[in-house]
Amino acid sequence: MRIIAGSAKGRRIAAPAGKDTRPTLDRVKESVFGVLQFRIAGKTVLDAFAGSGSMGLEALSRGAEECVFVDSQEECAKQIRENAQKLGFSDRSEIIRQDYEAAFNFFASNGRKFDIIFLDPPYRSGCLRKAVQMIFEKGLLAEGGVAIAEHETGLENSLNDTLYEVYDTRKYGGTSVSFIRR
């Protein structure tokens, strides 16, 4: 995996070993950041179910002010820490090794909001809809912010809710990315 653009353009990052993580494909990441390109600079980002931290690190490379990475696996948290350090983003990175529900509750209790939230839970885990609902129920998305959910193609219709709007979905074979706003 590599950083596509920005201050760390072309630099490689590592993913945790094993089959438990599914790194976002470069073509998917490139498309997502093509949509977000003018919304990143100076923003606060949350990379939930972060895995290698690829999405959050890309945002930092493109000028995001800070990124909070959340993953429940120790190996993932360690890899994100190493990747952030390698790229020189340690001072703008916060790594939380915790289940997403506990992390979201913690953010809500502290009034923490994010301009951009990336969600990439394990496919077939059944937690994507709940994670999206929690973001909006707990008020984690800043005014004018966007949540971006990577998921299996076909799940986009199950994400609809009265709390938020899925306003765009891009399909890449068996992977889709949905853009969600208040």
Map out the domains of the chain as residue ranges.
26-181
The CATH class given to the 26-181 domain equals alpha beta
Supply the pLDDT for residue 20. 55
d(CA 71, CA 73): 6
- Distance between CA atoms of 117 and 162, rounded to whole angstroms? 19
Measured CA to CA, the distance from residue 98 to residue 107 in angstroms comes to: 12
Across 43-50, average pLDDT: 97
Closest CA to 78 of 106, 107, 51: 51
Paired tokens of 96 = 């939380």
Is the whole-model pTM more than 0.85? yes
Does 154 score more than 60 pLDDT?
yes
Orientation angle between helical segments 26-36 and 54-61, nearest 10 degrees: 40
Q: What is the pLDDT of residues 72-120, one digit of tens each?
A: 999 999 999 999 999 999 999 999 999 999 999 999 999 999 999 999 9
Place of tokens 């950041």: 33
The whole-number average pLDDT for the span 144-161 is: 84
Which residue blocks in the chain are alpha helix, DSSP H? Answer: 26-36, 54-61, 74-87, 100-109, 128-137
Residue among 178, 112, 108 at smallest CA distance from 148:
178
Closest CA to 54 of 100, 99, 21: 21
CA 66 to mean position of chain CA atoms: 13
Instruction: Quote the crossing angle between the two packed helices 128-137 and 100-109, to the nearest 10°.
Output: 0
